[in-house]
Amino acid sequence: MGYAILSTWKMSFQGVCEASCLLKDHASAGDAAVRCIQCTEDNPAFVSVGYGGLPDENGRVFLDGGFMDGDTLKFGAVGALEGFRSPVAIARSLKDSNFNNFLVGKGAEAYAEAAGFEKRDNLTPESRARYLKDKGKTQNLFSYDGHDTICALALDENGSMCAGVSTSGLYLKKAGRLGDSPVIGSGFYADSAIGAAAATGVGEEIMKGVLSFRAVMYLRSGMTPMQAAETAVRELKEDLANRLGRTSSISLIVLGNDGTFGVGTTIEFPFAYASDTEPPTLYLANAGSDGRTVITRVEDPATVTQD
Amino acid sequence: MGYAILSTWKMSFQGVCEASCLLKDHASAGDAAVRCIQCTEDNPAFVSVGYGGLPDENGRVFLDGGFMDGDTLKFGAVGALEGFRSPVAIARSLKDSNFNNFLVGKGAEAYAEAAGFEKRDNLTPESRARYLKDKGKTQNLFSYDGHDTICALALDENGSMCAGVSTSGLYLKKAGRLGDSPVIGSGFYADSAIGAAAATGVGEEIMKGVLSFRAVMYLRSGMTPMQAAETAVRELKEDLANRLGRTSSISLIVLGNDGTFGVGTTIEFPFAYASDTEPPTLYLANAGSDGRTVITRVEDPATVTQD
């Protein structure tokens, strides 16, 4: 059986390369997805995830992460976590408990420390400088342009699937704010018998549509990954327009259990993909007419300016 | 148009009585649902919600709550909140922000205090005594028998629907643990154009199936509230059995936008309902054969021993 890895934003490209090598070497979907995400968590050039992440209203970097094993439906999640290297790895470890899979704040930090996870101060000088420049802007919150949650969906040669996510969340967020990323169903979902999905963009809007699980339900009803992603994003976009009169930045990746992918988006959205039949490739997705997604292969990554 | 209120467990009966009076007097669905829930939050006889709630592993009472407005899909949620009277009221107030709708821990407490919500020490002498007796049992966690999350689904005469939930969560939970209650899609969901659903039971299992949103998706596809509730619970029950070899305590209430209700459950589960055509009534639901739910009207509430 083939393997595949699908991940959000240009910043995921290096991670997709490393994950696809792991998958080729018979690694599990979980190991591949976590490696993919950690490449971004550890790189301070990517300012919305992990090291060098976006600070909250008080200038502190709090991270969220989630992980779901599609074979068992076991999941783990952490939110409002300060001072650790890899929220996705901590989330993954939490899935193995029968209870207490979703931990936040000081409790999550106590768990991570007791479990021996690597600590790290994620507030870099650059994070702090950005905060000091922008801290008065909390009345006009926005997603940091062109950066957002790293999500990875993986399928391994045994047919096992998983979903992983990691983010520092909304820039200048309120203390204790959780977005969609640690919220199963909204930020991520995986079922090896069907497929997997994960979302990036404005978490508060993504949660209104329970976007990832919605797409997996559509996969289950027989849609292709592309149809499921397009339909889920189009429905949420229409709901936000009709009920709240607003638009929002929302992107969704979907991986079928045959390794094919789909994307839905309201904005220009780069993503990376690799499989046993395709080398790591950067794509650009745009919202087309009638809720369809227009996907183009990026020949020269330097032409994609946003991470 | 008619009104209806549907709520979980015998402990909700008084709240359903008060909520139905409000709805008859033209109150909004939101005001009715919050009143329904606050009756339980404020009553220390009900040990899994609000005042006198179940302590965590450290003997402290942390509360979770959620609220969703079915007209706008706006929602609010709080988790790991200590020292306040009504998590559902705080959650409801959070829905009015465009961002930062889901707050946890110290950030949630800072918000609630700044917003002027009533503070309360929810650890009663009875809560503390229970903790001291049971605190060694964290290796063998269980839902406290016969008590659990209070959920309320309301439909008002204008056709507006909402969902509200409140709980102290799993008994002896780890610090910082969130269950399904503050998690949109799993613990609650409401869409006035379709219907509403909310869940009670083992939150970690409910989240694996994103149970409330699943039921609302089935309503949307044309199922009745009873079919949607039965189908959603049956699917999750089968997934848990097939993939993890286990059963779990799970109950789900569903309210259609015509005011009719449905229930799915894996255990004996009392619930309360009232509408413009039916006085407040206590029912008992049991899992029947073939995933159907058997519902009986309780003539004498004293015969239902669990709250």
At residue A146, the pLDDT reads: 44
Say which of B80, B202, B208 has its CB closest to residue A104: B80
- The radius of gyration of chain B from alpha carbons, rounded to an integer in Å, stands at 17
- pLDDT of residue B230 exceeding 60: yes
B132-141 confidence digits (pLDDT tens) = 998 877 555 5
Lowest mean pLDDT among A256-265, B142-151, B297-306: B142-151
Which residue in the list B40, B72, B138, B149 is annotated as catalytic? Answer: B149
B167, B177 in Cβ contact below 8 A? no
Residue B42 to residue B124: CA distance in whole angstroms: 12
Nearest in space to A41 (alpha carbons), one of A26, A57, A52: A52
- Residues paired with residue B293 on neighbouring β-strands, in sequence order: B287
At residue A67, the pLDDT reads: 98
CA B152 to chain centre: 6
At residue A138, the pLDDT reads: 58
At residue A147, the pLDDT reads: 53
Residue A190 to residue A155: CA distance in whole angstroms: 10
Q: Residue with structure tokens 């015998």?
A: B10
Residue B284 to residue A271: CA distance in whole angstroms: 50
Residue of chain B with shortest Cα separation from A101:
B204
Q: Do B100 and A207 touch (CB under 8 A)?
A: no
Q: What is the dihedral sign for C-alpha A71, A214, A179, B240?
A: negative
B67-90 confidence digits (pLDDT tens) = 999 999 999 999 999 999 999 999
If contacts are CB pairs under 8 Å, which of residues 111-130 in chain A contact chain B? 111
| Mean pLDDT value of segment B154-164 | 98
Say which of A80, A208, A217 has its CB closest to residue B73: A208
Identity at B220, one-letter amino acid code = R
Q: Do B207 and A189 touch (CB under 8 A)?
A: no
Q: Residue with structure tokens 């009663």?
A: B124
- CA A61 to each of CA A47, A167, B109: distance values in angstroms, whole numbers, following the listed order: 11, 10, 19
If contacts are CB pairs under 8 Å, which of residues 10-69 in chain A contact chain B? none
* B chain contacts of residue A211, beta-carbon cutoff 8 Å: none
B140, B42 in Cβ contact below 8 A? no
At residue A141, the pLDDT reads: 52
At residue B141, the pLDDT reads: 52
At residue B304, the pLDDT reads: 87
Which residue in the list A149, A200, A266, A293 is annotated as catalytic? Answer: A149
* A chain contacts of residue B75, beta-carbon cutoff 8 Å: 207-208
At residue B138, the pLDDT reads: 58
**If you ran DSSP here, which 8-state letter would residue B143 be given?**
P
Name the 3-class secondary structure at A256. Answer: strand
Identity at B166, one-letter amino acid code = S
**If you ran DSSP here, which 8-state letter would residue A70 be given?**
T
CB pairs under 8 A between A and B: 164
* A chain contacts of residue B170, beta-carbon cutoff 8 Å: 99-100
Tokens of B99: 């961002």
- CA A37 to each of CA A55, A225, A233: distance values in angstroms, whole numbers, following the listed order: 19, 22, 23
Q: Do A104 and B105 touch (CB under 8 A)?
A: yes
Tokens of B86: 């009504």
| Mean pLDDT value of segment B277-291 | 95
Tokens of A90: 């901590």
A181-195 confidence digits (pLDDT tens) = 999 999 999 999 999
User: Would residue A167 show up in a list of annotated catalytic residues for this protein?
Assistant: no
- The radius of gyration of chain A from alpha carbons, rounded to an integer in Å, stands at 18
Q: Do A103 and B183 touch (CB under 8 A)?
A: no
B200-219 confidence digits (pLDDT tens) = 999 999 999 999 999 999 99
Q: Give me the phi and psi of A286, to 5 degrees please.
A: -135, 150
Burial of A132 (0-12, 13-18, 19+ CB in 10 A): exposed
Report the gap between the CA of B278 and the closest CA in chain A (Å): 31
| pLDDT < 50 positions in chain A | 143-146
At residue B293, the pLDDT reads: 97
Q: Residue with structure tokens 């979902």?
A: A189
Residue B204 to residue B211: CA distance in whole angstroms: 11
Residue of chain B with shortest Cα separation from A71:
B243
List of residues 6+ apart from A262 with CB closer than 8 A = A215, A224, A225, A226, A227, A228, A229, A230, A253, A254, A256, A293
Q: Do A204 and B101 touch (CB under 8 A)?
A: yes
Tell me which of A201 and B48 has the higher pLDDT: A201
Name the 3-class secondary structure at B4. Answer: strand
Name the 3-class secondary structure at A51. Answer: coil
Residue B238 to residue B233: CA distance in whole angstroms: 9
Nearest in space to B30 (alpha carbons), one of B185, B152, B189, B183: B152
Contact status of A161 with chain B (Cβ, < 8 Å) = no
- pLDDT of residue B146 exceeding 80: no
Q: Residue with structure tokens 């054969």?
A: B289
- Residues paired with residue B206 on neighbouring β-strands, in sequence order: none
Report the gap between the CA of A191 and the closest CA in chain B (Å): 10
Tokens of B173: 């939970």
- Residues paired with residue B275 on neighbouring β-strands, in sequence order: B4, B278
Q: Residue with structure tokens 């894996």?
A: B266
Contact status of A172 with chain B (Cβ, < 8 Å) = no
Tokens of A130: 């950005």
- pLDDT of residue B147 exceeding 70: no
Q: Do A213 and B208 touch (CB under 8 A)?
A: no
- pLDDT of residue B163 exceeding 60: yes
- CA A128 to each of CA A50, B5, B117: distance values in angstroms, whole numbers, following the listed order: 14, 49, 33
Say which of A170, A174, A240 has its CB closest to residue B111: A174
Report the gap between the CA of B126 and the closest CA in chain A (Å): 24
Residue A113 to residue A115: CA distance in whole angstroms: 5
Residue B122 to residue B44: CA distance in whole angstroms: 9
Beta-sheet strand order (sheet of A269-275): A102-104, A75-81, A63-69, A161-167, A150-155, A4-8, A269-275, A278-287, A293-297
List of residues 6+ apart from B272 with CB closer than 8 A = B6, B7, B10, B12, B13, B15, B16, B280, B281, B282, B283
Say which of A71, A185, A244 has its CB closest to residue B185: A185
Q: Give me the phi and psi of B156, to 5 degrees please.
A: -105, 175
Q: Give me the phi and psi of B140, to 5 degrees please.
A: -135, 65
Contact status of B81 with chain A (Cβ, < 8 Å) = no
At residue A142, the pLDDT reads: 54
If contacts are CB pairs under 8 Å, which of residues 217-236 in chain A contact chain B? 217
Burial of B298 (0-12, 13-18, 19+ CB in 10 A): middle
Distance between start and end Cα atoms, chain A: 32
